[in-house]
Amino acid sequence: MLLESRSAVGQAAPAVAPRDTPTGGSARPRVLHVVASLDRTAVETWLLRMLGYANKSNVPLDWTFYCIEGAGAFDERARALGAKVVLSPARIGDKRAFLQALRAHLSGHRYHVLHCHHDLASAVYLLAGWRLPIGRRIVHVHNADESVLTPSAIKQVLFRSMFRRICLTFADRIAANSNHCLDTFLAGRPRRPGIDIIHYYGIDPEPLTDAKPDRVAFRRQLGFTDDAKIVLFAGRVVPEKNPVFAVDVIASMRRMDPSVVGVFAGAGSLEQAVQRRATALGVDAGVKCLGWRSDIPELMAGSDWFILPHPEHPLEGFGIAVVEAQLAGLRLLLSLGIADDPLLPTASARRLSLGLGAEAWAEAAMALWSSPPSREAALEAFLQSPMAMDHALRGLIALHDVESNPDA
């Protein structure tokens, strides 16, 4: 299977029974996750999902979230799940004050694990913990954009090299959410067995597999005909997701089959651009922009295709929505900017160059219509993949496992 082979290449974490204590003994490792804020972003949402699943599975975790951008919408949810939430008293832009505040917190609480979630910028957090008795330092790579938090192009180049060297020198583990992200971060260096690893996001399949809306009622609710064929764009409506190109594809598909319509679920800077493009192409009656939605599983289950024309450079870090779309039984239209890591062996998908143009994408979409994917087969393949919740929780526990606790 594709994901099994990828996991092997990525040095998957050894299996640990979910009900075992995380360190193999009686103590739980105290883990500090340095994050932006507990809002609806992919990284923080994933961490809260894993924390909730650990609670449900009776696996004790001792987690603290150190939020560098202040309070978030899910702070209380994290506390209700047993985590601590600490808001940095200094913004990262005030470098000296930020480093001092983080170091003081690390010194005062003697964490076993420092888990940094900001790719190359995690070097700043490693510096704050330098020479402190921390059992494991982890840099988690979630994207391939290699941002280093400065608008200066010259400083970007200088800081990338310096921050990469700090991360590779002082981190005990470099964990990435995809092969592409890890290889980009290593910048040509060979992977070190047991140190540079792939840890795929754990994804809960139940909301996708349980969603079974009335397809006719769903279409009427959106103002479409009962036989409408729906192309769904679900995600941030921003340049790095390329939603305007999706409008072009939908317009081409409507010329081939007038029952095709498009639904955009998400918010972002290009919402008006999407609507303007639909109007300019004369398909505004067949394109609905819903804004941000919390019912994505239901939207997916009621649709027919999922489209993600991500720019080809840089590649998307890891497409959670791509996995969710497969579990919902959707045909996939993906650009070459989407890696093959999220694709299950059962996927009904086409990965196309953006350079082929909207017409070729539309033809590929219509060719997929005759081969509907099986939700049951997708779920079976998913449960054997490293993205299944049990597997992902075992991997996360193993990632935090330290041979000796600093204050044991």
Note the pLDDT of residue 144: 86
In this structure, are 190 and 44 located in the same domain?
yes
Question: Does residue 150 sit within a domain?
Answer: yes
In this structure, are 23 and 105 located in the same domain?
yes
In this structure, are 240 and 144 located in the same domain?
no
Question: Does residue 255 sit within a domain?
Answer: yes
Question: Does residue 408 sit within a domain?
Answer: no
Q: Which whole-number Å values give the CA distances from 35 to 61, 130, 142, 342, in the listed order?
A: 17, 19, 12, 24
Note the pLDDT of residue 140: 98
Which tokens hold the place of 345?
């062996």
- Give the SS3 label for residue 31: strand
**Spatial separation of the C-alpha atoms in residues 362 and 333, rounded to whole Å:** 9
In this structure, are 24 and 131 located in the same domain?
yes
Burial 85-101 (b: 16+ CB within 10 A, else e): beebeeebeeeeebbeb
In 225-346, the DSSP E strands lie at 229-234, 260-265, 287-291, 305-308, 331-335
Enter the DSSP assignment of 345. Answer: T
In this structure, are 180 and 213 located in the same domain?
no
User: Which structural domain, as residue segments, surrounds residue 375?
Assistant: 206-383
Identify the bridge partners of residue 262 per DSSP, sorted by sequence position.
231, 287
Question: Does residue 315 sit within a domain?
Answer: yes
pLDDT tens for each residue of the chain, 408 residues long: 333 333 332 333 333 343 334 334 446 899 999 999 999 888 999 999 999 999 999 999 999 999 999 999 999 999 999 999 999 999 998 999 999 999 999 999 999 999 999 999 999 999 999 999 999 999 999 988 887 777 777 888 889 999 999 999 999 999 999 999 999 999 999 999 999 999 999 999 999 999 988 999 999 999 999 999 999 999 999 999 999 999 999 999 999 999 999 999 999 999 999 999 999 999 999 999 999 999 999 999 999 999 999 999 888 888 899 999 999 999 999 999 998 889 999 999 999 999 999 999 999 999 999 988 999 999 999 999 999 999 999 999 999 998 643 443
- Give the SS3 label for residue 248: helix
In this structure, are 127 and 225 located in the same domain?
no
In this structure, are 106 and 169 located in the same domain?
yes
CATH number at 326 reads: 3.40.50.2000
Note the pLDDT of residue 340: 87
Note the pLDDT of residue 23: 39
Q: How many domains does the chain have?
A: 2
Question: Does residue 407 sit within a domain?
Answer: no
In this structure, are 349 and 296 located in the same domain?
yes
In this structure, are 219 and 324 located in the same domain?
yes
Note the pLDDT of residue 18: 37
Whole-model pTM over 0.75: yes
In this structure, are 89 and 231 located in the same domain?
no
DSSP string covering 92-120: TTSHHHHHHHHHHHHHHH--SEEEE-SGG
What angle in degrees, to the nearest 10, is found between the helix axes of 243-256 and 358-368?
Answer: 60
Note the pLDDT of residue 182: 96
Question: Does residue 406 sit within a domain?
Answer: no
In this structure, are 118 and 262 located in the same domain?
no
**Spatial separation of the C-alpha atoms in residues 352 and 310, rounded to whole Å:** 10
For 354-363, the CB contacts below 8 A with 24+ separation are 354/242, 354/245, 354/309, 354/311, 354/312, 358/245, 358/248, 358/249, 358/251, 358/252, 359/252, 361/249, 361/252, 361/309, 361/333, 362/249, 362/252, 362/253, 362/255, 362/256, 363/256
Question: Does residue 210 sit within a domain?
Answer: yes
Cβ atoms of 333 and 308 within 8 Å: the answer is yes
Question: Does residue 256 sit within a domain?
Answer: yes
In this structure, are 168 and 241 located in the same domain?
no
Q: Which residue has 């650009």 as its token pair?
A: 335
- Closest among 303, 348, 352 to 328, alpha carbons compared: 303
